[in-house]
């Protein structure tokens, strides 16, 4: 079983291996491009995602916790009944500190009964004990460095050039890795399709010039949405960023969320 | 498409505040995902055990070389099974290999697995067994004869040169196999360790802890397999071999326990924002599986028993030592299962809002239930029994020939 193993053949093989290793990133980039072209979104054919950059922001002071946004989202996107939410509202109740406790605040109670879809009718602590309370709407944080996109083993979830993070339900294998990787609890496993699901910014609507359902129904304009590449006169988004100092959620994780909040509290995670 | 009313709402028990999407009846990754790192770890550990013989020339362990390789192989064949069953769309699983997303820790696992199965385990076993296959194919009739003939793949050269080449290649594959085994299981650790969203998982030590606990569990399983196979065949146990296995098991367990303790020391000392949650996990949610299962029964008791056999080997009679090794092995194998449970299930018992806890009660039936978990865990043992029947006769033809020559 002797084989001729000349220096030439060894070097040729090593060379080929090196070329293959060097070509891998290029092949991967090409594959990603092809994937982006081939992946079907809910946008109309003439929609060019490179001409838009969608942005969502929240003015927490304006949210009244009515829950219309949650309901609109569930209906618009056929989100299954049960603990499955593309958007939800959290209520924060900060109680007064105990007398002579030398604290600035008492305890912080957070709840979101059924995602806040029916509003928040009961107050779990006597009103006299409340220092302050506020509502925080939540949805996909549209991270610049999304852990969900990074971790999807098949590339079924992807960033679109216009700033959305989408899932291709025909491609998703339902492993749940993206759900574990999302620090904000924004993803869920759809119990009917058995694929990962999340807020799409109502991609089927925004790509047709409409607002996302949650923004459309918000009675107080707590949700501010717009296109950074095509500002309109008196653009609410531009106004928002002019008037407010903003924060993102869990900035220490380095995900760089594009969704930004004004008037938020340190307790919000 | 109106399908919104199909799902029955069932609110599970949870404390404090959990994100609404986390308030599901069962954790997303349940018992099958507990078994996945467990089975993979046993593969890596059993292989390391085998390579002690081939690469590190620990002659005393020769009687368990093939047994370890067959253990590794039987578990390797089932390693991806729990993952596959767990997928929402198992029919799309090939996409992981066809269109891997290279930034995903999970995507590369398919390749690591394939490499380990095809290039390491199968090849090493084949080179080690080739001569036996040739001889068996001549003596055995019927199905077994046919199987051995197929397994020779037509290479029936019995010359001294060919056998020497077999040994050499087997040795080279073993050397490649050691980093591959580390890669295989370190990789599984990285799948969890890379999830920065979850403070219970996102930990740089995770791959190392996974590798070390894998080595410990693999050696322990080989100890158990060796003792049971010897008992079933009514063959005397080679005490020197068992003592050496016990020694390696002890040292591996010392290193593993040290690194896992270091992880806890670091968590307790650094007291990051998740500390309150982690504290409550250890004190309440995972009290039994972590403190009793993993730490006391799976680590401390075996450490004491194995430590005693190291310190006073000559003073402890053989029969007692055997029982101590078997008990330690079983405790370790169960303790590492508890460790996998604590990692996988523990990581999903608290909200990523760090404000509340979920609970998990395993179903009995169903795809993620106790029965399915038991079946998946039993399968590699069944495969192992078949493999031992086929490939581990009481005396292999090569050994028989050697005995005659001597």
Contact B88 A189 (CB under 8 A): yes
- Chain B, nearest residue to A113 by Cα: B20
How far from B124 is each of A8, B14, B119, B181, B391, CA to CA, in Å?
A: 29, 50, 8, 13, 14
Asked if B130 is an interface residue toward chain A (Cβ–Cβ < 8 A), one would say no
Chain A residue numbers touching B111 (CB-CB < 8 A): none
Q: Where are the beta strands (DSSP E) in B149-233?
A: none
pLDDT digits (tens, 9 = 90+) for A112-130: 999 999 999 899 999 999 9
Q: What is the pLDDT of residues B201-210, one digit of tens each?
A: 999 999 999 9
A188–B21: do the CB atoms touch at under 8 Å? Answer: yes
Q: Indicate whether A206 belongs to any domain.
A: yes
Residues 149-188 of B with CB under 8 A from A: 157, 161-162, 165
C-alpha span between B315 and B309 (Å, rounded): 9
Position B394 scores a pLDDT of 76
Q: Is the Cβ–Cβ distance between B25 and A100 less than 8 Å?
A: no
The fold for domain B24-249+371-405 equals Formate dehydrogenase/DMSO reductase fold (1.20.1630)
Q: How many domains does chain A have?
A: 1
User: Which of B171, B173, B62, B106 has the alpha carbon at shortest distance from B398?
Assistant: B62
pLDDT given at position B12: 58
Express each pLDDT in B261-315 by its tens digit.
999 999 999 999 999 999 999 999 999 999 999 999 999 999 999 999 999 999 9
Residue of A33, A83, A111, A267 for testing the chain B interface, max B β-carbons within 10 Å: A83
ipTM of this predicted structure:
0.90
Residue A15 lies in a domain: no
pLDDT top residue among B184 and B297? B297
User: Would A145 be classed as within a structural domain?
Assistant: yes
- Measured between beta carbons, the chain B residues lying within 8 angstroms of A182 are 197
The answer to whether residue B402 scores a pLDDT higher than 70 is: no
Backbone angles phi, psi at A222, to 5 degrees: -75, -25
Q: Give B251 to chain A, closest Cα distance, Å.
A: 35
> What confidence category does residue B6 fall into, taking pLDDT thresholds of 50, 70 and 90?
very low
User: Mean pLDDT across chain B, nearest whole number?
Assistant: 91
CA distance B213 to B42: 9
Judging contacts by C-beta atoms under 8 Å, the chain B residues touching residue A187 are 21
Q: Which of A195-199, B64-68, B178-182, B315-319 has the lowest mean pLDDT?
A: B178-182
Report the alpha-carbon distance of residue B37 to residue B185 in Å, rounded: 8
> Is A127 in a helix, a strand, or coil?
helix
Q: Determine whether the interchain pair B3/A80 forms a contact, defined as Cβ–Cβ distance below 8 Å.
A: yes
| Rounded Cα–Cα distance for residues B333 and B227 (Å) | 14
Exposure b/e, B114-134, CB count within 10 A at least 16 = b: eebbeebbebbbbbbbbbbbb
Segments making up each domain of chain B, as ranges: 24-249+371-405
Residue B9: predicted pLDDT = 44
Q: Which helix (H) or strand (E) holds B130?
A: helix B123-139
Instruction: Work out the average pLDDT over A72-96.
Output: 96
A22 part of a folded domain: no
Cβ–Cβ under 8 Å, residues A62 and A263: no
- Residue A161 sits in a domain whose CATH number is 3.30.70.20
- pLDDT confidence bin for A33, thresholds 50/70/90: low
pLDDT of B1 reads: 42
A151 contact B CB<8A: yes
Torsions phi, psi of A121, nearest 5?
-85, -40
Local structure of A95: helix, strand or coil: strand
A250: left (phi over 0), alpha (psi -120 to 50) or beta: left
pLDDT band at residue A20 under the 50/70/90 scheme: confident
Looking at A18-32, A208-222, B234-248, B325-339, which range is the least confident one? Answer: A18-32
pLDDT at residue B404 is higher than 90: no
Q: Is the pLDDT of residue A30 over 80?
A: no
Q: What are the C-alpha distances in Å from B255 to residues B40, B214, B249, B261?
A: 20, 12, 10, 10
pLDDT, one tens digit per residue, over B231-253 is 999 999 999 999 999 999 999 99
More confident residue, A27 or B271: B271
Any chain A CB within 8 A of the CB of B353?
yes
B406 pLDDT tier (thresholds 50, 70, 90):
very low
The region of weakest confidence among A78-87, B2-11, B337-346 is B2-11
Note whether A83 contacts B28, CB cutoff 8 Å. Answer: no
| Interchain contact, A180 vs B95, CB within 8 Å | no
> Which pLDDT value is given to residue A88?
98
Torsion angle of alpha carbons A212, A213, A219, A220, nearest 10°?
Answer: -30
| pTM, full prediction | 0.89
- Closest CA–CA distance from residue A182 to any residue of chain B (Å): 6
Q: What percent of chain A has a predicted confidence (pLDDT) above 90?
A: 80
Q: Which pLDDT does position B197 carry in this prediction?
A: 96
- CB within 8 Å of chain A, chain B residues 298-337: none
Does A176 contact B7 at a Cβ distance shorter than 8 Å? no
Spatial CA neighbour of A193 closest among A157, A214, A168, A213:
A168
Give chain A's end-to-end CA distance (angstroms, integer).
66
Nearest residue on chain B to A115, judged by CA atoms?
A: B20
Average pLDDT over residues A214-230: 96
Residue B359 gets which letter from DSSP?
Answer: -
Give the mean pLDDT of chain A.
92
For residue A260, what are the domain limits? 34-84+138-264
In this predicted model, what pLDDT tens digit does every residue of B119-172 receive, in sequence order? 889 999 999 999 999 999 999 888 999 999 999 998 888 899 999 999 999 999
User: How far B299 CA sits from the closest chain A CA (Å)?
Assistant: 29
Residues 74-103 of B with CB under 8 A from A: 83, 86-90, 92-93, 95-96, 99-103
Beta bridge partners of A57: A224, A260
Residues B348 and B33: beta-carbon distance below 8 Å: no
Q: Assign A155 a pLDDT band (cuts: 50, 70, 90).
A: very high
Chosen from A30, A145, A175 to mutate, greatest number of chain B CBs within 10 A: A175
Tokens of B78: 């089932």
The b/e string for B366-376 (b: 16+ C-beta within 10 A; e otherwise) is eebbeebbeeb
Return the pLDDT at B361. Answer: 85
B88 interaction partners in chain A (CB closer than 8 Å): 172-176, 189, 193-195
Query: What is the pLDDT at residue B10?
Result: 47
pLDDT in tens, B70-110: 999 999 999 999 999 999 999 999 999 998 999 998 888 88
B241 neighbors B64 (Cβ within 8 angstroms): yes
């Amino acid at each position: 079983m002797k084989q001729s193993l000349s220096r030439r053949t060894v070097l040729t093989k090593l060379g080929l291996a090196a070329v293959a290793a060097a070509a891998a990133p290029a092949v991967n980039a090409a594959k990603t491009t092809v994937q982006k072209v081939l992946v079907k979104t809910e946008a109309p054919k003439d929609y060019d995602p490179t001409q838009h950059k969608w942005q969502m922001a929240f003015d927490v002071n304006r949210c009244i916790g009515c829950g219309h946004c949650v309901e609109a989202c569930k209906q618009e996107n056929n989100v299954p009944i049960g603990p499955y939410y593309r958007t939800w509202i959290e209520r924060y109740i900060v109680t007064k500190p105990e007398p002579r406790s030398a604290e600035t605040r008492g305890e912080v109670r957070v709840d979101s009964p059924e995602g806040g879809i029916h509003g928040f009718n009961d107050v779990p602590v006597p009103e006299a004990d409340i220092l302050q309370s506020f509502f925080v709407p939540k949805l996909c944080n549209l991270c610049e460095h999304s852990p969900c996109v990074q971790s999807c083993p098949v590339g079924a979830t992807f960033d679109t050039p216009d700033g959305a993070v989408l899932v291709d339900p025909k491609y998703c294998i339902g492993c749940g890795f993206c759900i574990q990787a999302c620090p904000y609890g924004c993803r869920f496993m759809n119990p009917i399709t058995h694929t990962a699901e999340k807020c799409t910014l109502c991609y089927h609507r925004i790509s047709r010039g409409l607002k996302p359902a949650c923004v459309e129904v918000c009675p107080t304009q707590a949700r501010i949405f717009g296109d950074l590449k095509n500002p309109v006169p008196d653009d609410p988004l531009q106004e928002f960023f002019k008037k407010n100092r903003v924060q993102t959620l869990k900035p220490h994780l380095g995900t760089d969320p594009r969704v930004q909040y004004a008037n938020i509290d340190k307790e919000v995670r | 498409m109106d399908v919104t009313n199909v799902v029955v709402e069932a609110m599970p028990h949870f404390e404090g505040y959990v994100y609404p999407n986390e308030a599901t009846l069962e954790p997303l990754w349940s018992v099958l995902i507990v078994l996945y790192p467990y089975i993979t770890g046993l593969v890596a550990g059993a292989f390391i055990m085998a390579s002690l013989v081939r690469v590190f020339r620990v002659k005393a362990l020769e009687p368990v070389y093939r047994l370890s390789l067959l253990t590794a192989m039987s578990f390797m064949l089932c390693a991806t099974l729990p993952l596959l069953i767990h997928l929402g769309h198992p029919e799309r699983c090939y996409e992981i290999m066809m269109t891997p997303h290279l930034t995903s820790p999970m995507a590369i696992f398919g390749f690591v697995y394939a490499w380990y199965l095809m290039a390491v385990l199968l090849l090493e076993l084949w080179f080690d067994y080739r001569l036996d296959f040739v001889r068996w194919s001549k003596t055995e009739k019927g199905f077994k004869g046919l199987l051995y003939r197929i397994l020779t793949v037509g290479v029936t050269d019995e010359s001294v040169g060919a056998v020497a080449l077999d040994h050499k290649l087997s040795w080279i594959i073993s050397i490649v196999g050691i980093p591959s085994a580390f890669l295989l299981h370190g990789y599984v650790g990285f799948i969890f360790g890379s999830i920065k969203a979850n403070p219970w998982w996102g930990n740089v030590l995770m791959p190392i802890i996974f590798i070390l606990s894998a080595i410990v569990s693999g050696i322990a399983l080989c100890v158990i397999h060796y003792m049971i196979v010897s008992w079933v065949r009514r063959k005397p146990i080679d005490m020197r071999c068992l003592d050496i296995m016990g020694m390696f098991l002890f040292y591996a367990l010392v290193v593993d326990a040290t690194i896992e303790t270091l992880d806890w020391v670091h968590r307790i000392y650094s007291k990051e924002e998740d500390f309150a949650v982690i504290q409550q996990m250890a004190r309440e949610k995972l009290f039994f599986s972590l403190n009793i299962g993993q730490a006391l029964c799976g680590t401390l008791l075996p450490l004491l028993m194995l430590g005693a056999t190291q310190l006073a080997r000559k003073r402890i009679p053989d029969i007692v030592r055997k029982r101590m090794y078997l008990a330690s092995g079983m405790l370790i194998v169960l303790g590492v299962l508890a460790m996998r449970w604590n990692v996988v299930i523990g990581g999903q018992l608290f909200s990523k809002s760090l404000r509340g806890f979920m609970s998990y009660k395993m179903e009995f039936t169903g795809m993620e239930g106790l029965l399915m978990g038991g079946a998946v865990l039993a399968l590699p043992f069944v495969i192992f029994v078949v493999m031992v029947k086929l490939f581990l006769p009481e005396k292999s033809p090569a050994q028989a020939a050697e005995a005659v020559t001597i």
